[in-house]
Structure 1
Amino acid sequence: MECKEVSTTAFDDQKPGTSGLRKGTQVFMTKQNYTENFIQSILSSIEDTKRKGCTLIVGGDGRFYMKTAVSLIIKIAVANGVGKLIIGQSGVLSTPAISNLIRKHSAIGGIILTASHNPGGPNADFGIKFNTSNGGPAPSGVTDKIYEISKSLTSFKICPDLCVNFDSIGSRTYTIDGADFTVDVISSVQDYVEMMTNIFDFNAIKSYIQDINFKMLFDSLHGVVGPYATKIVCEELGATPDSAIHSTPLEDFGGKHPDPNLTYAAELVDEMKKGVHDFGVAFDGDGDRNMIIGKNGFFVSPCDSLAVIAANHKSIPYFVANQMTGFARSMPTSGALDRVAEELKLPFFEVPTGWKFFGNLMDAGKIALCGEESFGTGSNHIREKDGMWAALAWLSILADTKLSVQEVITNHWKTYGRNCFTRYDYEQVDSVAANSMMENLTKAINEKTLFGKTLTGAGKNYTVKLMDNYRYEDPIDKTVTEKQGIRIIFADGSRIIFRLSGTGSSGATIRMYVDSYISKEDPSLEFAAAQILKPLVEIALEISQIPQLTGRNSPTVIT
């Protein structure tokens, strides 16, 4: 077999977003060389001397077109001098599992085939993401380089006759153009499960589950977590087989949206409301996000989930054995974590949205726990958010405290006060309308029209203390990231934030965040979040003019 160079035409729309390149599946399938071009751009971004003979991890969430993309990566990787590919069986690997494998095998990086929480199928979404040698998402400098290469690409290298069976586990070595090329097909779950057993006390969790007949539901939404949940929850922890639901990965996620929130995981929420199960968790398509639900359908805000894990980190053996160095959260995430950091006298950092911003802090030893309001939580065991890790962290806390999910949360509020939080998502909004909203808000910043002004919603007054477009300077490498979300901060510490998401494949997604702090002595401490936040939501909609600009009277999803 020989490699050859194929002429191609560059595309101008292959700029990676927050988590890689995401487009409609048909774009990857029908635009000639679209997939090949982007794979070549990724490989060309790696220096020749580092790429030659290197190891690369490959896998994805099992969505439609993934296997075709894996086959192309194999053919293109060997032609570009890669020495070894480590691929999950049938191409399946969760995003956290890939991060672990990159670090374990000192790989040059990993190519992840996923559009995360976006729907899958021939008429839905596909995505390609590159993680670097630390196991984390490629930083802006790398993605910018990939994009620049993609805009001027004139050819790609490929070994068209190399066909590898990656459905069966085993190692295969080929000699192509005089060089050895190895493809190791491995268990999708084994390495990840081994890592989890070294982080958590599975015996303690198992004893707790069995002693009180603790009932759980792990809903994988037909995404990649299914095999991991079956292995860990049912086999390792001894839970009944019906504890893992929707656990068969499907190319179209069963025709549903693999996003763990109250809208798209409604089936789990409804089942938890029956009061039969003590603990519920839903995961997204590629396994890096999670939603925690307690008995009777008690919803745990992802912001509270992060803060609770921080406050109870000593319930997790990993953090007993390894120093808790600090915490970090994304800017739109509520301030609940800040209060824990202050109480524990540990360093705290606020970063832009995107897991890559946590990577430098973890690599420098500044933080050990971090998270985002978008249902992402993780620690420095890898360089990605990790849905299963978060679920096991919660089980560790429950086993240690012997409390219910709701009791853990309400006790946390009574100790630290409550940051009441909500997020409104307006998906697939006309891009012109979304940009008009951001332009109007930017104008208000420049002209200082809201500074010091008192705004009223549902009869309650709030005075604007600050309005800006968030800017971040990385404390490690000093790189500056600008225009990361428009913030309106009020005198009492409440916040309203507006961002355009970078994870959609078409149109625009407007995200509106509302965060309000309630002291532990406040009689409304345990009121419904919608009731507490109603005044600020009214103010936010009035300031942004979202209904008028978009024609949407309600959001697609409310968190």
Structure 2
Amino acid sequence: MTTHPTTPFDGQKPGTSGLRKKTAVFMQPNFLENFVQATFNAIGGVRGKTLVLGGDGRYFGTDAAQVILKMAAASGAARVIVGQGAWLSTPAASNLIRKRSADGGIILSASHNPGGPNEDFGVKYNMANGGPAPESVTEAIFARTKEITEYAKFDAPDVNLTAIGESHLGAMVVEVVDPVSAYADMMEEIFDFKALRGLFHEGFTMRMDSMCAITGPYAVEILEKRLGAAKGTVVHETPLPDFGGMHPDPNPTWAHELMVEMMGASAPDFGAASDGDGDRNMVLGRGVYVSPSDSLAVIAANAHLVPGYAQGLKGVARSMPTSAAVDRVATALGIDCYETPTGWKFFGNLMDAGRVSLCGEESFGTGSDHVREKDGLWAVLMWLNIIAARGQGVAEILAEHFERFGRNYYSRHDYEALPVDQANAMLNDLRDRLASLKGTQNHGLIVENADEFAYTDPVDGSISVQQGFRILFEGGSRVVLRLSGTGTEGATLRVYLERYVPGPAGLNEDPQEALGPIIRATEEIVGIRARTGRAGPDVIT
């Protein structure tokens, strides 16, 4: 073991999902080591502890894994369970932490951000429950990054991460495991694999786009090998360090190849995509796109059809910017619905306390209490199981859902890489004017209320403030504005637009047209395009 002197780096504050920076920033001497040592220090050290380690296969991941293994050995860790090749999807890592009763885990990913030497990298610490570190821990990590003076690292050759089995790094055991098998086994316990095999046997067709990211091997194992989907059902199935130049974000903008296929004349019955680290999903039917908010609501309404949830849901939770579609389902089911800030860590307490079974975010993240992360393939299998149980296609299921519950027209507009000062000034101005907005009229919409969302955790009483701006219009429409915590360059402003239509008429409009008055009212109130000079959003989902 060698102790290395170091000095703090600015800007090592974890966001909603760990620390994300450009890859070149992480590759600076001591940058990764400082953050890892600060993490170890913040959690009381790792002596005698068992950790899980893995990532999404992006550039610098294997090098970072070797650094972390040597630092864990130097700090006295007893065992590190690492995915073969340093691969683990985020939900698979969460499952391993829980299944092996590990003390925590380190996930090497920047999720849906692009990868490569000129793109993004990230490091996230997950707790013993398998979920992301709460704010109390991320704040402690940040505090340690500002005062660090040294880090410890074991001097030894790199560990062979290609061969499954155990080896030693000093006194520490390095256990290399198959990254896929435990996760696939868990899925087989939750879902009716017999019914799903029957679905594919009867000629059901599907396209799964893994976007050259980590879910490729998982999707091939589950869909093609265990369920019998035709070979080639999974495309872009090989994880690549730069994701093959793709932007591994499963939305209509970046998964355009899948969108074109699913909207075409020869579309398969079902389409899906997942992101860089496997925790996000996009779901489509033949000729129809399912918004993440609607997907959450449909899953909640039909979860009882899936063996793992046959006894019913304990409750549901959604992030504040996510549409209220699932709220209406919860009311019909007679279960609680919680509204939390953005960030999966806020769902962890609710799941651990047994208050909710199902959670979702509008940013293409859906999951349940089977792990403590959102889970892209799980969401895909939920839809497949519901399709098999109901004997209906996606379009039919959606239409019947809207007829019963009404429709929450919803869209997210992203303005990316804004100058940070400009974005902050715009939102600070909005903050100063919130109280004066009530009762004002804009493009025929009357502001009923406007506030800045704050959250008090019902389990531990912790308080999170400044979690996004809400402008609520009379009649149930609203707009939410917040800065994303997942970008690495400039500021990304996310604008969430929602309009509720109870039906029976007005359920089949184009979402952007249905939201037109709200889009125009938002521009009048906030002045995004006028103040930024942008002609429009960079991404619409």
TM-score when scaled to structure 1? Answer: 0.96
Q: Which residue of 2 aligns with 1:450?
A: 437
Alignment of 1:12-161 (within 5 A): 12-29=10-27, 31-48=28-45, 51-161=46-156
Distance, in Å, in 2 between the alignment partners of 1:173 and 1:79 is 12
Q: Is the 8 A contact 2:24 2:118 kept in 1?
A: yes
Counterpart check, 1:301 vs 2:299? no
Distance, in Å, in 2 between the alignment partners of 1:364 and 1:248 is 38
Alignment of 1:327-342 (within 5 A): 327-342=316-331
Distance, in Å, in 2 between the alignment partners of 1:431 and 1:218 is 36
Q: Is the 8 A contact 2:23 2:119 kept in 1?
A: yes
Q: Which residue of 2 aligns with 1:472?
A: 455
Q: Which residue of 2 aligns with 1:517?
A: 500
Distance, in Å, in 1 between the alignment partners of 2:124 and 2:44 is 18
Q: Which runs of 4+ in 1 moved over 3 A?
A: none
Distance, in Å, in 2 between the alignment partners of 1:9 and 1:444 is 42
Q: Which residue of 1 aligns with 2:236?
A: 246
TM-score when scaled to structure 2? Answer: 0.99
Q: Is the 8 A contact 1:19 1:137 kept in 2?
A: yes
Corresponding residue SS for 1:152: coil
Deviations 1:442-488 (A, max 9, x none): 0111xx221111221xxxx2111110000100000000000000000
Deviations 1:360-399 (A, max 9, x none): 0000000000100000000000000000000000000000
Alignment of 1:281-430 (within 5 A): 281-296=272-287, 298-320=288-310, 322-430=311-419
Distance, in Å, in 1 between the alignment partners of 2:320 and 2:267 is 37
CA drift at 1:433: 1.4
Q: Which runs of 5+ in 2 are unaligned?
A: none
* 191, 198, 221: which one aligns with 1:200: 191
CA drift at 1:108: 1.0
CA drift at 1:12: 2.2
Distance, in Å, in 2 between the alignment partners of 1:437 and 1:348 is 32
Q: Which residue of 2 aligns with 1:270?
A: 260
Corresponding residue SS for 2:309: helix
Corresponding residue SS for 2:517: helix
Distance, in Å, in 2 between the alignment partners of 1:366 and 1:323 is 12
Q: Is the 8 A contact 2:442 2:524 kept in 1?
A: no
Q: Is the 8 A contact 2:71 2:154 kept in 1?
A: yes
Corresponding residue SS for 1:341: helix
CA drift at 1:498: 0.4
Distance, in Å, in 1 between the alignment partners of 2:344 and 2:459 is 15
Aligned-pair identity in percent equals: 49
Q: Which runs of 5+ in 1 are unaligned?
A: none
Letter of the structure 2 residue corresponding to residue 451 of structure 1 = K
Q: Which residue of 2 aligns with 1:237?
A: 227
Q: Is the 8 A contact 1:419 1:518 kept in 2?
A: yes
Q: Is the 8 A contact 2:358 2:367 kept in 1?
A: yes
Counterpart check, 1:491 vs 2:474? yes
CA drift at 1:183: 0.5
Letter of the structure 1 residue corresponding to residue 136 of structure 2 = G
Letter of the structure 1 residue corresponding to residue 23 of structure 2 = T
Q: Is the 8 A contact 1:75 1:162 kept in 2?
A: no
Distance, in Å, in 1 between the alignment partners of 2:267 and 2:470 is 41
Aligned-residue Cα RMSD (Å) equals 0.9
Over 3 Å counting, the alpha-carbon distance change for 1:323 and 1:417 in structure 2 is closer
Distance, in Å, in 2 between the alignment partners of 1:323 and 1:316 is 10
Corresponding residue SS for 2:25: helix
Distance, in Å, in 1 between the alignment partners of 2:298 and 2:426 is 35
Counterpart check, 1:228 vs 2:230? no
Q: Which residue of 1 aligns with 2:3?
A: 5
Letter of the structure 2 residue corresponding to residue 430 of structure 1 = P
Aligned length in residues: 540
Q: Which residue of 2 aligns with 1:184?
A: 175
Q: Which residue of 2 aligns with 1:549?
A: 531
CA drift at 1:520: 2.1
Deviations 1:206-228 (A, max 9, x none): 102212x1110110000000000
Moved more, 382-391 or 6-15: 6-15
